[in-house]
């Protein structure tokens, strides 16, 4: 886990060492354990190191093969590096380190760009092949690790974070208006190659590209996920077998995600996903004694004084049942406002809700004890865990003539999620009206259009998970900590994609196969929960009370009134209606306020490099 940056000059000039050092310095937080540079002719590579596997100096980057023809900077973890190194050794390769970085170099030498199909983990890397005179750049299957790039003044520039690219005086001078408007209108980000900064792009999940002196080839997709469309998987015996298989594959993913030469802990929200990880890790601690965890697992949680948003009781239940060493932090609105400037700087782009602040605080807490954490990201999108997916499920059943099944599912939805359905419909109407506050031409984003498999695919690769992974990576790396997400192990994902729909949602019950798999393992008080929360904050309360004077000040400012992205007077009026109790809350208020603060920090007061 590290920060990477680089330059490939395409017009005959040489790479700029001063630029590379400045880029690396902007992402120092991603790698406080060391730095490395390689500048040779048109190529410049920079690396900030967070040492996780093979802590020796031999594993430093940029790393080259023994003959110097291949050279790499890499951010991430290849969890099956041990098995790959053994296979490559049998094929005649010789290794000088115990690092996963060197495994990528030799895998590329053996299999070329096809090496990506052999890798199990998370990665963003740039690999220079001097014989082919090309830079091979790739991002992992789900985009867990970031890779941004820009083409400017005859150079291809890349980095782990947008801020490093903006060191170049010709990069990131203005917002990307359409992407920004789409975020304001629909609340989505990271849904395409474009970013909210003009002329800065990202490699999409499961894509790679090649850069030669002639220019960029790609991005091209190297892996995909086929989500099964049919509804019925058979009887009880088939269900039980599928649940057992899923549990074993998930346990195997957790086991391999614990590979580390530094201490590993767990983020624990009290929900079903993170609680499952904590319980599985505790079992592995008893049975296999992974050195990275030690004799007692450390967990990290966030709690809130307002009990409507507090899951502490569930996290405590897991802690008591497992005997973990549990740590908790309790953020409040004042803490948030004090941390907001750095949070905006860390994230590089405006964020859709205050929910990421709880995660930011958890990562800060964890960094005092461990260098790696496991987190439950990715389960909801694969297992149809969000209640909003129920509409797509019902629509698909009706569209395929399964009327009786649709009626049964609708009854289950009303039984378990009736309150959410009422609130969801009300929010849908409020948000539709408040979209009129935004001026311009945003892209239309219809997250729930199509069948349930189509919606889940879109959520995994575009409309939801990429933004969550962006926030998770930046929150963790802000405190020089590595976050790992076992539910996004590609073997887990492929197994879940092959399940029929009724193992995702059945009788209104979400995540059916996960709940079946952990019966008797995770306490039923958590296993049977239907009130999904996760790491959230009491955003609506804060925006009405503690943060209200500051938000009003933002909305009343001259800079806010001058922006072309919204109707400033209408925004002020609508927010005052909410404060007076004459209108409901919706996240448009925060998105607009956050965007204004981001524009001020990124463009109004740009600090010279």
Q: What are the residue boundaries of the structural domains of the chain, listed by start?
A: 2-221, 236-387+423-537, 538-609
Report how far residue 96's alpha carbon sits from residue 65's, in angstroms, rounded to the nearest whole number.
9
Residue 100: the pLDDT is 97
Report how far residue 127's alpha carbon sits from residue 244's, in angstroms, rounded to the nearest whole number.
40
Residue 529: the pLDDT is 87
Find where tokens 């790039």 sit.
149
Report how far residue 321's alpha carbon sits from residue 280's, in angstroms, rounded to the nearest whole number.
12
Sign of the C-alpha dihedral computed for residues 359, 365, 371 and 374 taken in this order: negative
Residue 515 pLDDT > 70: yes
Residue 305 pLDDT > 90: no
**Helical spans, DSSP H, in 112-200:** 162-165, 177-186
CA torsion, ordered 21, 27, 33, 38, to nearest 10 deg: -30
DSSP-assigned beta bridge partners for residue 136: 127, 210
Bridge pairing between strands 70-78 and 372-374: unpaired
Residue 234 pLDDT > 90: no
Residue 536 pLDDT > 60: no
Residue 222: the pLDDT is 98
Confidence of residue 324 (pLDDT cuts 50, 70, 90): very high
Report how far residue 525's alpha carbon sits from residue 318's, in angstroms, rounded to the nearest whole number.
10
Q: 73: part of which helix (H) or strand (E)?
A: strand 70-78
- pTM equals 0.95
| Residue 246 CB contacts under 8 Å (≥ 6 apart), including other chains | 492, 495, 496, 499, 513, 514, 517
Question: Dmax over Cα atoms in the chain, in whole Å?
Answer: 73
Residue 607 pLDDT > 70: no
Confidence of residue 1 (pLDDT cuts 50, 70, 90): low
Q: Which two tokens stand for residue 492?
A: 């887990």
Confidence of residue 608 (pLDDT cuts 50, 70, 90): very low
- 607: burial class by Cβ within 10 Å (0-12, 13-18, 19+)? exposed
124: helix, strand or coil? strand
Confidence of residue 141 (pLDDT cuts 50, 70, 90): very high
| pLDDT tens, residue by residue, 279-299 | 999 999 999 999 999 999 999
Q: Which CATH number fits domain 236-387+423-537: 3.30.70.2200, 3.90.320.10, 2.50.20.10, 3.40.50.620?
A: 3.40.50.620
Sign of the C-alpha dihedral computed for residues 576, 581, 582 and 586 taken in this order: positive
Neighbours of 109 (CB within 10 A): 17
| Residue 322 CB contacts under 8 Å (≥ 6 apart), including other chains | 278, 279, 282, 297
Q: Which two tokens stand for residue 574?
A: 């609508």
Residue 609: the pLDDT is 39
DSSP-assigned beta bridge partners for residue 135: 128, 211
**Helical spans, DSSP H, in 331-464:** 333-347, 355-366, 379-383, 389-399, 403-434, 452-458
Would you say 300 and 270 are in contact if contact means Cβ atoms under 8 Å apart? no
Mean pLDDT of the region 513-524: 96
Neighbours of 90 (CB within 10 A): 8
Sign of the C-alpha dihedral computed for residues 499, 503, 508 and 509 taken in this order: negative
**Helical spans, DSSP H, in 478-608:** 490-497, 512-517, 524-527, 539-544, 548-555, 558-562, 568-579, 588-599
> What is 2-221's CATH topology?
3.60.20
Mean pLDDT of the region 214-218: 93
Mean pLDDT of the region 30-47: 97
Q: 599: part of which helix (H) or strand (E)?
A: helix 588-599
Average pLDDT score over the chain:
94
Report how far residue 264's alpha carbon sits from residue 281's, in angstroms, rounded to the nearest whole number.
10
Would you say 70 and 108 are in contact if contact means Cβ atoms under 8 Å apart? yes
Bridge pairing between strands 34-40 and 43-49: antiparallel
DSSP string of 203-228, one letter each residue: PPTTEEEEEETTEEEEEEE-------
128 or 430, higher pLDDT: 128
Q: pLDDT > 70: what percent of the chain?
A: 98
DSSP-assigned beta bridge partners for residue 264: 372
Residue 532: the pLDDT is 61
Q: Say which DSSP state 320 is in.
A: H
| pLDDT tens, residue by residue, 348-377 | 999 999 999 999 999 999 999 999 999 999
**Residue of 289, 286, 258, 251 lying closest to 372 (CA atoms):** 258
Mean pLDDT lowest among 222-231, 262-271, 411-420, 569-578: 411-420
Residue 311: the pLDDT is 83
Residue 523 pLDDT > 70: yes
């Amino acid at each position: 886990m590290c920060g990477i940056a680089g330059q490939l000059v395409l017009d005959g000039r040489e790479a700029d060492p001063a630029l590379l050092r400045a880029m690396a310095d902007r992402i120092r937080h991603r790698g406080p354990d060391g730095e490395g540079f390689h500048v040779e002719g048109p190529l410049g590579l920079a690396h900030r190191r967070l040492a996780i596997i093979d802590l020796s100096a031999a594993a430093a980057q940029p790393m080259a093969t023994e003959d110097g023809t291949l050279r790499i900077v890499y951010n991430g973890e290849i969890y099956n590096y041990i098995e790959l190194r053994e296979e490559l050794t049998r094929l005649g390769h010789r290794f000088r380190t115990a690092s996963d970085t060197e495994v990528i170099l030799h895998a590329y030498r053996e299999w070329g760009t096809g090496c990506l199909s052999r890798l199990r983990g998370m990665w963003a890397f740039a690999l220079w092949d001097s014989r082919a005179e090309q830079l091979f750049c790739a991002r992992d299957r789900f985009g867990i690790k970031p890779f941004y790039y820009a083409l400017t003044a005859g150079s291809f520039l890349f980095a782990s974070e947008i801020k490093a690219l903006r060191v170049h005086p010709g990069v990131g001078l203005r917002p990307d208006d359409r992407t920004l408007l789409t975020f304001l209108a629909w609340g989505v980000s990271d849904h395409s190659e474009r970013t909210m900064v003009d002329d800065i792009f990202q490699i999409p999940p499961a894509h790679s590209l090649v850069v030669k002196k002639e220019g960029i080839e790609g991005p091209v997709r190297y892996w995909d996920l086929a989500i099964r469309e049919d509804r019925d998987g058979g009887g009880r015996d088939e269900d039980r077998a599928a649940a057992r298989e899923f549990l074993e594959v998930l346990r195997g993913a957790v086991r391999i995600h614990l590979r580390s030469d530094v201490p590993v802990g767990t983020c624990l929200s009290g929900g079903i996903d993170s609680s499952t990880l904590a319980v599985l890790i505790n079992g592995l601690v008893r049975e296999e004694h992974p050195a990275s965890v030690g004799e007692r697992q450390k967990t990290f949680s966030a709690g809130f004084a307002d009990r409507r948003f507090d899951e502490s009781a569930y996290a405590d239940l897991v802690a008591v049942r497992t005997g973990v060493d549990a740590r908790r932090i309790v953020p409040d609105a004042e803490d948030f406002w004090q941390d907001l400037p750095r949070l905006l700087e860390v994230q590089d782009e405006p964020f859709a809700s205050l929910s990421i602040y709880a995660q930011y605080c958890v990562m800060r807490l964890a960094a005092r004890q461990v260098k790696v954490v496991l987190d439950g990201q990715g389960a909801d999108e694969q297992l149809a865990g969000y209640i909003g997916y129920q509409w797509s499920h019902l629509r698909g059943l009706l569209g395929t003539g399964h009327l009786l099944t649709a009626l049964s599912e609708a009854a289950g939805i009303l039984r378990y999620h009736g309150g959410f359905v009422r609130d969801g419909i009300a929010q849908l109407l409020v948000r539709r009206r408040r979209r009129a506050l935004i001026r311009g031409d945003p892209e239309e984003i219809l997250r729930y259009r199509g069948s349930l498999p189509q919606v889940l695919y879109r959520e995994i690769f575009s409309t939801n998970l990429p933004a969550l992974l962006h926030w998770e990576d930046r929150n963790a790396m802000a405190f020089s900590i590595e976050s790992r997400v076992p539910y996004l192990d590609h073997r887990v994902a492929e197994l879940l994609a092959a399940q029929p729909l009724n193992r995702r949602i059945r009788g209104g019950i979400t995540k059916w196969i996960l709940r079946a798999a952990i019966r008797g393992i995770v306490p039923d008080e958590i296993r049977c929960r239907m009130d999904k929360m996760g790491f959230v904050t009491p955003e609506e309360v804060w925006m009405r009370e503690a943060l209200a004077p500051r938000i009003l000040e933002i909305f009343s400012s001259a800079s806010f009134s001058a922006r072309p992205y919204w109707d400033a007077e209408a925004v002020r009026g609508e927010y005052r209606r909410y404060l007076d109790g004459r209108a409901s809350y919706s996240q448009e208020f925060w998105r607009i306020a956050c965007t204004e603060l981001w524009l001020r920090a990124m463009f109004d007061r740009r600090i010279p490099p």
